[in-house]
């Protein structure tokens, strides 16, 4: 599967990363190399194989539905780069 | 005293030969002397360490007999520590102070262990050389032109240079075992689910596992006794009783069946490493073990499958770093999208961005089946390979890494770096426990031996490793000088 500069731009946007014009060639060629390594997978027939998403054959544990967490709003919000009156501030999204 | 094992320090502290304050001060002095060159620590907690040491000595005077009481440890900077920066080796978290402790941190603290500080690592644990750290590379104590391995490079270098008695690490594709091999120490990756991941910054959630980095298999058993167990806060931690991992260390290996994978003794393995491992196997034969060649036919597919699964999980996990709730935020964003993009591009290093891109690509519309689903199918084949092999043998032994530590800056292309973990990565995909212990040396650099067993068979691995360490002294060897200074 060919991977080119326009693909890099698209993927960078999906990942919310900014790739500058000067980096684009290098990024494209590195990722192309990595995809070539990954493509070794295509040499094996896996049609009848069930995917394994988790190393252990276990089911999700459930707990009783009761409040266990304390309210730590102020403590957690104190970590934010910008906040005010209990709200996280970001650049204006609505005019 | 500082070069002693945890087991020896435990006896010395109990006997009153040394106090925790004296011991802690000795390690702090050592850190002051060598960390400038080695760069093993990102944060040193001198004041709180001495306070904890005082508290440990006071607890002992009152009759506390906890085995690890007052022994100084270093945490990899991936474990959240309340009130102390947790950087994960990244600019993104350069000033991040966690509001809570990771379960692993809490458990060591409850055991009376003294925390000396936080160790350097590859950024977000993505790397095999510790060169991707925002805080600069760590030097290998055996040769300061060489890497310590990664991603737990700081913890491994700190243990090898006696800057601490023991350390924690995490292993997603080899990040405990490969640096343990390069630094000549012991590093155990437990089975997936054995140790809580709560408060351990996520890289690839179905692969990440925390484990001990230390000076002997016995020490790894003592540390795992503290670390292991169910944690209600981590839904992937396993509800399975924790055994006393020291109980079976002394078991005889008479009749033990050891499998050696032919794929791990093939092209690409350096002759010195091969010789060291073959010599080690002879030691096992002397102990009555039976050596048998085994086949792991899909092992060549483990690196390709891993570089789909790990980046895919990473791209999801790292989406949380958006400059809104915590961590780095770019200056003067013009709008929300600009803030996200510049925050992430400035906050993450090159390798992390590369893996986010690969993961995003693998999960994007139209490619999911060809990459992610395909990799999960290969993951099943790899798990089956181990299950089949482990029906015939008790443990699998081979080299941890194809060669000894390489030179800083010598592997600039990502693919050759990824292939560094060729013998260790399959174990993470299968969720199995594995250890690396020192088993030789070449050109003044240590060689690591890799021992793998079935799910939750940590006790067996530690027994097999301990018996080797009883007969040999590779784990006792120390660099004769560190960064040109006599030790």
Domain boundaries of chain B, sorted by first residue: 6-256+392-486, 300-373
Inter-chain CB proximity A72 and B431 less than 8 Å = no
User: Residue ranges of chain B with pLDDT lower than 50?
Assistant: none
Tokens encoding B114: 């003294």
Query: Distance (Å, rounded) from C-alpha B468 to C-alpha B227?
Result: 24
Task: Mention every residue, 6+ apart, whose C-beta is less than 8 A from residue B248.
Answer: B459, B460, B462, B463
Helix, strand, coil abundance in chain A, percent, nearest 5: 40, 5, 55
Fold of B6-256+392-486: Amidase signature (AS) enzymes (3.90.1300)
Provide the residue range defining the domain that includes A25.
Answer: 5-41
Inter-chain CB proximity A15 and B360 less than 8 Å = yes
B361 in Cβ contact with A31 (< 8 Å): yes
Does A1 have pLDDT greater than 60? no
In a domain, A88, yes or no: no
Among the partner residues B334, B360, B374, nearest to A91 by beta-carbon distance? B334
Query: According to the model, what pLDDT value does residue B484 have?
Result: 67
Direct distance between the N- and C-terminal alpha carbons of chain B, in angstroms, rounded to an integer: 13
B462 in Cβ contact with B217 (< 8 Å): yes
Neighbouring CB atoms inside 10 A of B37's CB total: 15
In a domain, A78, yes or no: no
In a domain, A32, yes or no: yes
Give me the residues of A, 13-32, that contact B with CB < 8 A. Answer: 14-19, 27, 30-31
Q: How confident is the model at residue A3 (pLDDT cuts 50, 70, 90)?
A: confident
Among the partner residues B341, B370, B431, nearest to A56 by beta-carbon distance? B431
Residues from chain B contacting residue A15 (CB–CB below 8 Å): 315, 319, 344, 356-357, 360
Query: According to the model, what pLDDT value does residue B481 have?
Result: 82
Size of interface A-B (CB pairs under 8 A): 163
Query: According to the model, what pLDDT value does residue A88 have?
Result: 95
ipTM score of the complex?
0.95
In a domain, A33, yes or no: yes
In a domain, A37, yes or no: yes
CB burial string B345-371: b at 16+ within 10 A, e below: bebbbebbbbbbbbbbbbbbeebeebb
Give, in degrees to the nearest 5, the angle at Cα B314 between B134 and B154.
35
Among the partner residues A33, A41, A50, nearest to B375 by beta-carbon distance? A41
Considering only CA atoms, which of B196, B264, B185, B184 is closest in space to residue B424?
B264
Inter-chain CB proximity B376 and A52 less than 8 Å = yes
Residues from chain B contacting residue A4 (CB–CB below 8 Å): none
What burial class does residue A12 get, using C-beta atoms within 10 Å of its C-beta: 0-12 exposed, 13-18 middle, 19+ buried? buried
Considering only CA atoms, which of B172, B179, B123, B177 is closest in space to residue B150?
B179
B393 in Cβ contact with B451 (< 8 Å): no
Give me the residues of A, 64-83, that contact B with CB < 8 A. Answer: 72, 75-76, 79-82
Query: pTM of the predicted model, to two decimals?
Result: 0.97
In a domain, A10, yes or no: yes
Inter-chain CB proximity B357 and A75 less than 8 Å = no
**Which residues of B have a catalytic role annotated?**
76, 151, 175
- Total tally of structural domains belonging to chain A: 1
pLDDT tens-digit series, residues A59-92:
888 889 999 888 989 999 999 999 999 999 999 8
């Amino acid at each position: 599967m060919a991977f080119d500069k326009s693909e890099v731009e698209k993927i960078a946007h999906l990942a919310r990363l900014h790739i500058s014009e000067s980096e684009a060639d290098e990024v494209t060629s590195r990722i192309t190399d990595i995809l070539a390594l990954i493509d070794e997978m295509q040499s094996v027939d896996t049609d009848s194989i069930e995917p394994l998403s988790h190393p252990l054959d276990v089911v999700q544990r459930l707990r009783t539905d009761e409040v266990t967490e304390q309210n730590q709003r102020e403590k957690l919000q104190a970590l934010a780069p910008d906040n005010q009156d209990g709200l996280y501030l970001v650049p204006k999204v609505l005019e | 005293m500082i070069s002693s094992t945890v087991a020896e320090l435990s006896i010395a502290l109990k006997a009153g030969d040394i106090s925790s304050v004296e011991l802690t001060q000795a390690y702090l002095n050592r850190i002051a002397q060598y960390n400038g060159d080695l760069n093993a620590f990102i944060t040193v907690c001198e004041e709180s360490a001495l306070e904890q040491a005082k508290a440990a000595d006071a607890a002992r005077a009152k009759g506390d007999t906890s085995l690890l009481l007052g022994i100084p440890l270093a945490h990899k900077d991936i474990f959240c520590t309340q009130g102390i920066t947790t950087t994960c080796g990244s600019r993104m978290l350069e000033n991040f102070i966690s509001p809570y402790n990771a379960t692993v941190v809490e458990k060591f603290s409850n055991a009376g262990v003294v925390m000396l500080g936080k160790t350097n690592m590859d950024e977000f644990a993505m790397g095999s050389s510790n060169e991707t750290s925002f805080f600069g590379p760590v030097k290998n104590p055996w040769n300061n032109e060489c890497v310590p391995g990664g991603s737990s490079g700081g913890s491994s270098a700190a243990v090898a240079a006696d800057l601490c008695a023991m350390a924690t690490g995490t292993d997603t594709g080899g990040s405990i075992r490969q640096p343990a091999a390069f630094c000549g120490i012991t590093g155990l990756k437990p089975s997936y689910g054995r140790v809580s991941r709560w408060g351990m910054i996520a890289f690839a959630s179905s692969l990440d596992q925390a484990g001990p980095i230390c000076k002997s298999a016995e020490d790894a058993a003592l540390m795992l006794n503290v670390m292991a167990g169910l944690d209600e806060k981590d839904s992937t931690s396993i509800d399975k009783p924790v055994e006393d991992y020291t109980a079976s260390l002394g078991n005889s290996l008479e009749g033990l069946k050891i499998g050696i994978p032919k794929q791990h003794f093939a092209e690409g393995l350096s002759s010195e490493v091969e010789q060291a491992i073959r010599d080690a196997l002879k030691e096992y034969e002397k102990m009555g073990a039976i050596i048998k060649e085994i086949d792991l036919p899909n092992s060549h597919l483990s690196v390709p499958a891993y570089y789909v699964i790990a980046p895919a999980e990473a791209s999801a996990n790292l989406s949380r770093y958006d400059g809104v709730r915590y961590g780095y935020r770019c200056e003067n964003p013009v709008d929300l999208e600009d803030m996200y993009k510049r925050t992430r591009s400035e906050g993450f290093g090159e390798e992390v961005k590369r893996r986010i891109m690969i993961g995003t690509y693998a999960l994007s519309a139209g490619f999911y089946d060809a990459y992610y689903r395909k990799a999960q199918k290969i993951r099943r084949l790899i798990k089956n390979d181990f299950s089949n092999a482990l029906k015939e043998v008790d443990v699998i032994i081979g080299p941890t890494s194809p060669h000894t530590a390489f030179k800083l800056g010598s592997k600039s292309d990502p693919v050759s770096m990824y292939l560094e973990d060729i013998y260790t990565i399959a174990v993470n995909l299968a969720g199995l426990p594995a250890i690396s212990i020192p088993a030789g040396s070449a050109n003044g650099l240590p060689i690591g031996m890799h021992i793998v067993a079935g799910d939750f068979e940590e006790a067996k691995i530690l027994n097999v490793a301990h018996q080797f360490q009883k007969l040999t002294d590779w784990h006792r060897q120390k660099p004769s000088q560190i960064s040109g200074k006599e030790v």
